[in-house]
Amino acid sequence: MKIEKVGLFGKFNDSSVSETLDAVRKIIEQQGLSVLIAETTAPSVQGPRIDTSQPVEEQIDLGIVVGGDGTMLNAARMLAEHDLPAIGVNLGRLGFLTDITVDDFDTALQSIRQGRYRKELRTLLRTTVLRDGETVYTGVSLNDAVISKGNSGRLIEFETRVNGQFVSHTRSDGVIVATPTGSTAYSLSAGGPIIYPNLSVFSMAPICPHTLSNRPIVLDEDAVIEISELYCPEVHANLVLDGVLTCELNGTETVRLEKSLKKLCLIRIESHNHFETLHDKLGWNG
């Protein structure tokens, strides 16, 4: 992988990370690389910016994302759209997506430039909301898509079909459709399975289902999931992608979920161990 131009992504408009971003940029420039700052990074971080009105892939060779996994989620959609790889630099505790510490960044970047790395292609989820046969919303997420009951204290009801085949009529607080990347996020707290990152599958987990036999299910990533016949008493239901409310649902919609045509290329240093990350984040070491 040839690296000459780097895009630097910081936490969305958060000036508190300016000092760290400046330190990371200095390391990048000391290695003879040019740096452009992502448009969403806080204005207090000085330097030329990525021009999103022009092809991003012509301006940078890869994105370096400084922050936590949430920062990576925001940057991932843009980087994947332009077929650009990503490196995650963590500001706090070890992250699932941002696994290089600031102290180790200089050495890690040198190793990556020397070819000592591996690529992980991460599946993204494409969500389409149709109302009366017309598309009213389309979005892409790296972790998950969630349909929830919103502010109602009552259960919502919905029907689920996979590849046109009826699966279930569910009464619950909602449903989570997660990628392997998102299997260790909200889906995990709802009882969903931990999925190894490079598997080509989705998981679908109900949130607090009224029928306890309604359990999470793992589906091939080529499956098309459709959720319809939504009934949410008193208020609208919510569609949330990667933790961000994107659309309110009034019950007349069909929500279609399928894999995106794009994938995120995540660059890992050779020493990265997914199971060590699980130990650290989930407390498996006791």
Positions marked active-site: 69
In whole angstroms, give the CA distance from residue 94 to residue 84. 23
For residues 231-243, b (16+ Cβ closer than 10 Å) or e, as one string? ebeeebbbbbbbe
Strands 5-9 and 244-249: unpaired
Q: Using the structure block, give the residue that is written with the tokens 């910016």.
A: 49
Question: Would you say how long the chain is, in residues?
Answer: 286
In whole angstroms, give the CA distance from residue 222 to residue 147. 21
The answer to whether 125 touches 138, Cβ cutoff 8 Å, is no
SS3 call for 13: coil
Instruction: Report which DSSP code applies to 209.
Output: -
In whole angstroms, give the CA distance from residue 20 to residue 14. 12
Degrees to nearest 5, angle at CA 256 with 206 and 213: 20
The answer to whether 164 touches 140, Cβ cutoff 8 Å, is no
**How far apart are the two ends of the chain, measured CA to CA in Å?**
39
